[in-house]
């Protein structure tokens, strides 16, 4: 099997496409394809302060989870950790 170049520099178009794949594989079950989440259970991302605010805050929640919520940490997932999802 071919190994992936972890140092690859993505174009904006590639970054969006990769982010869409990462979101579909890791986020869509809770946050839904449209980013609206499931009210009362999983937070909406569409229009949220986290999705539209400082990237560092978004990265922190994705990588470390959020205490008191269903948001799990993805810091052991090398694909999510590369950052493509933030471009989606």
Task: Please indicate, yes or no, if residue 60 is contained in any of the structural domains.
Answer: yes
* d(C-alpha 10, C-alpha 42), whole Å: 30
Task: Please indicate, yes or no, if residue 1 is contained in any of the structural domains.
Answer: no
DSSP string, 6-66: TTPPPPHHHHHHHHHHHHHHHTHHHH-TTS--BTTTB---TT-HHHHS-HHHHHHHHHH--
19: domain CATH number?
A: 1.10.760.10
Q: What is the domain extent for residue 29? A: 12-79
Task: Please indicate, yes or no, if residue 19 is contained in any of the structural domains.
Answer: yes
pLDDT in tens, 16-73: 888 888 889 989 999 999 999 999 999 999 999 988 999 889 888 988 999 999 999 9
* d(C-alpha 10, C-alpha 49), whole Å: 26
Task: Please indicate, yes or no, if residue 6 is contained in any of the structural domains.
Answer: no
Separation of CA 63 from chain center = 9
Q: Is 33 exposed, middle or buried (0-12, 13-18, 19+ CB in 10 A)?
A: exposed
Task: Please indicate, yes or no, if residue 87 is contained in any of the structural domains.
Answer: no
pTM of structure: 0.74
Task: Please indicate, yes or no, if residue 71 is contained in any of the structural domains.
Answer: yes
Please state the domain count of the chain: 1
């Amino acid at each position: 099997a071919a190994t992936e170049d972890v140092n690859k520099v993505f174009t904006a178009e590639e970054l969006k496409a990769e982010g869409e794949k990462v979101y579909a594989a890791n986020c869509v079950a809770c946050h839904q394809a449209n980013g609206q989440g499931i009210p009362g259970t999983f937070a909406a991302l569409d229009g949220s302060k986290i999705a539209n605010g400082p990237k560092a805050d978004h990265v922190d929640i994705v990588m470390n989870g959020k205490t008191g919520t269903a948001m799990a940490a993805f810091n052991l997932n090398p694909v999510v950790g590369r950052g493509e999802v933030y471009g989606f």
